Structure 1
Amino acid sequence: MKNLRNVMITITSVLGLSVLVAFISNGQSVQSNDEIILRFGHGAAESNERHLAIMRFKELVEEESNGKIKVHVYPNEQLGSEAEMIESVTLNDLQMVAASAYSQYNQRMSVFELPYLFNSYEEAWEVLDGEVGEKVAEPLLEDNLRVMAYFENGFRHVTSNKPIESPEDLKGLNIRTPEFPLSLSTFEALGANPTPMAFGELYMALQQGTVDAQENPVANTYASKFQEVQDYLNFTGHQYMPLPAAISEEFWQSLSPELQEIVKTNAQKAAQYHRDLIVKNEEKMVKELQEDGMKVVRPPKEDFREKTKGVYESFKKEHGDELVDQILEQVENH
């Protein structure tokens, strides 16, 4: 897609990766002599915790495979958007990706984005790392996508120029959201006017008043300096979003069992490393946002949760009760 293969060759040439002597798809590993090249793409900047965690994966895999696997990391959407990188993995033109946009292949993946599904990171991680996480990811194998681990996107919160203390404060508010069905339906249920737009356009849109508010994890708000154009950070915690890391199934099957174990184990280690980084740094980021003048609001969530119950009913109507009920039961027993 979009001459991605040529782009790969150009990039590796520029980086001086002379070990890459062949790019073979159709289920075979990209190999040079005795080395296996695993190319890993993602959409975050080099300063982001996501990149740091993937670099940790690279370090562990290369060390434990004694250099048999070489991991080449491409951050910052160098190889295309998240959707494009996922498609490249389905075609076995890219070996691995960490991204959110899997719903084009499996709508059930969006179950984790249901509003107020989880109360804490620990609840979410227990579900993702267990039977439910495996069950939700399984259909992706039909599209050559094997989920190795769930990295972290975090809880999403609203920033605005007025305090959001109840759902009534969202009524009529023009708020930028990603173009995810559950994000749109969640804010419609809360009475807001969700407005999808590219993230790169958001700062200017807030500055010019094209939209009144936005919602993102704290790390994104901090990195994008939204405190310069928004007065309030409202801890609505309306959605949790994981970041699945998937590998090409064809590439996976070309690895020996020993190398498969190394890749899988260290993907899970890197995912937990990412989670821990996010949680550790979030408090520090909130403090710095406050020092820059942003006011923090922590509204009670009961009314928000009540207003969004209809989103669950719509999801169940389309995908059935079983998956949602299984998650809710596990959360209740956490």
Structure 2
Amino acid sequence: MILLTLSLAGSIVAAFVASDNVAITNDVTTIRVGHEQAETNDRHLAMMEFKELVEEKSQGEMEVLVYPNAQLGSEPEMIESVTLNDLQMVAATAFTQYDQRISVFELPYLFDSYEEAWNVLDGEVGQDMADLFLEDDLRILAYFENGFRHVTSNRPIESPEDLSGLVIRTPEFPISLSTFNAMGANPTPMAFGELYTALQQGTVDAQENPIANAYTSNFQEVQEYLNLTSHQYMPLPVAINEDFWQSLSTEEQEILNNSAEEAAQFHRETQRENEEKMLAELEEDGMEIVEPDTSLFEDEIDPVYNSFRQAYGDELVDRIIEAANE
């Protein structure tokens, strides 16, 4: 009986070999990935596409568990968990806490179209930005879509004057804060999970986000206007812990890399296709769509570029502007 018990115990231990919170069960490697948006958001749909691709390509030898709705913490918390290999992967925007230079993609009115942004992200500049994070054990596999950001409010925003004194929630990103300061607003950083209640209670007057985030968060219930300011484009890096990555076989790495790139393309196409539908549904729900002359806002943003150039040099800014123009 003792020998039998020891034998069974050994089998159980062998079946659940844990390495840095990664469970390997019957030769199946489980990868946990977190993000902040709801299950109805295109971001979650893209991560489920990634899960399906990985599991199909690996013939079931790799399993991806997706945790939406900030179940595993805020974006900064999840990214930190990935640096520690407590979480294997994350889809998030808050990477500036490790290197501010990645915020060059967020300079206001940098890109005129999605295609411009994608060409830069998928090219040499995007790879160079990704390499900056390897020293923090973050390997960016692909840039998913966060999209162009717009302002929702309870008054129409047709010019920078309409932003004057407006208490607007932004993420705690220096570029976001400096952009709205330059346009005369009062930017107030706040976690996304607290935003709906803050809008409902009047803690903040307005917020800015891609259309998909406003739509899936039901901001039309607490905001009257969606103002298509397109003031920033923001990518969504998907990163994996570098130590965990190096523990995988070459074949497993290739599966993850290819699946991330395919899921990124799926996300971009899905979000583009859904935006018009989302706008129509928001309008049906009573939200008024405002299409301001964005050139009026562009005239106010020189201080943002000047500040970034002073902090990180002209070369980085000029290089990305040149890449965008190409």
Q: TM-score, normalised by structure 2?
A: 0.92
Per-residue deviation at 1:206? 2.5
Cα distance, 1:56 vs. partner? 1.0
Quote the residue 2:52 is aligned against.
Answer: 59
The answer for the alignment partner of 1:202 in structure 2 is 195
Task: Name the stretch that deviates more: 267-276 or 227-236.
Answer: 227-236
> CA offsets, 1:263-283, max 9 Å, x none?
101101001111111111111
Change (3 A) 1:19 1:49: farther
Q: Which has the larger displacement, 138-147 or 299-308?
A: 299-308
Equivalent in 73, 77, 80 of residue 84 of structure 1? 77
The structure 1 residue matched to 2:98, chosen from 89, 105, 109, is 105
C-alpha deviations, 1:64-102, integer Å up to 9, x for none? Answer: 112221212222222222112111111122211111111
Q: Which residue does 2:3 correspond to in 1?
A: none
The one of 269, 277, 300 aligned to 1:307: 300
Pairwise CA distance, 1:187: 0.4
CA contact (8 A) 2:38 2:216 kept: no
Distance of aligned partners of 1:119 and 1:35 in 2 relative to their CA distance in 1, 3 Å threshold: same
Q: Is the 8 A contact 1:29 1:254 kept in 2?
A: no
Alignment of 1:177-188 (within 5 A): 177-188=170-181
Q: 1:297 aligns with which of 290, 305, 310?
A: 290
- Alignment of 1:250 with 2:279, yes or no, is no
Deviation at 1:212, TM superposition (A): 2.0
State the one-letter code of the partner of 1:242: P
Q: Give how far 1:29 is off.
A: 6.1
Given residue 60 of structure 1, which amino acid in structure 2 is its aligned partner? Answer: L
Say whether residues 1:137 and 2:130 are aligned partners: yes
* % same residue: 66
Structure 2 match to 1:49 = 42
**Would you identify which runs of 4 or more consecutive aligned residues in structure 1 move more than 3 Å?**
none
Q: Which has the larger radius of gyration?
A: 2
> What is the alpha-carbon distance in structure 2 between the residues aligned to residue 50 and residue 313 of structure 1?
33
Following superposition of structure 1 onto structure 2, how do residues 118-137 of structure 1 map, counting pairs within 5 Å?
118-137=111-130
Across the aligned residues of Structure 1 and Structure 2, the Cα RMSD in angstroms comes to 1.8
- Which residue in 2 is equivalent to 1:12? none
Give the SS at the match of 2:111: coil
Aligned to 1:10: none
| Amino acid in structure 2 at the alignment position of 1:21 | F
Tell me how far apart the structure 2 counterparts of residues 269 and 109 of structure 1 sit (CA, whole Å): 22
Aligned residue type for 2:305: Y
Residue among 109, 113, 117 paired with 2:110 = 117
Q: Which amino acid aligns with 2:138?
A: L
Superposed, which structure 2 residues align to 1:156-175 within 5 Å? 156-175=149-168
CA contact (8 A) 2:15 2:26 kept: no
**Number of paired residues?**
314
CA distance in 1, matches of 2:193, 2:66: 22
Amino acid at match of 1:42: H
The one-letter code of the counterpart of 1:91 is L
Q: Tell me: CA distance 1:179–1:20, structure 2 relative to 1, closer, same or farther (3 Å).
A: farther
Taking the aligned partners of 2:117 and 2:85, their CA distance within structure 1 comes to 30
1:23 paired to 2:18: yes
> Given that residues 55 and 63 in structure 2 are in contact (C-alpha distance below 8 angstroms), is that contact kept between their aligned partners in structure 1?
yes
Q: CA deviation at 1:20?
A: 6.9
Residue 274 of structure 2, aligned match among 250, 259, 281: 281
Q: Verify: 1:320 aligned to 2:307, yes or no.
A: no
1:237 — aligned with what?
230
Contact 1:20/1:37 (<8 A) preserved: no
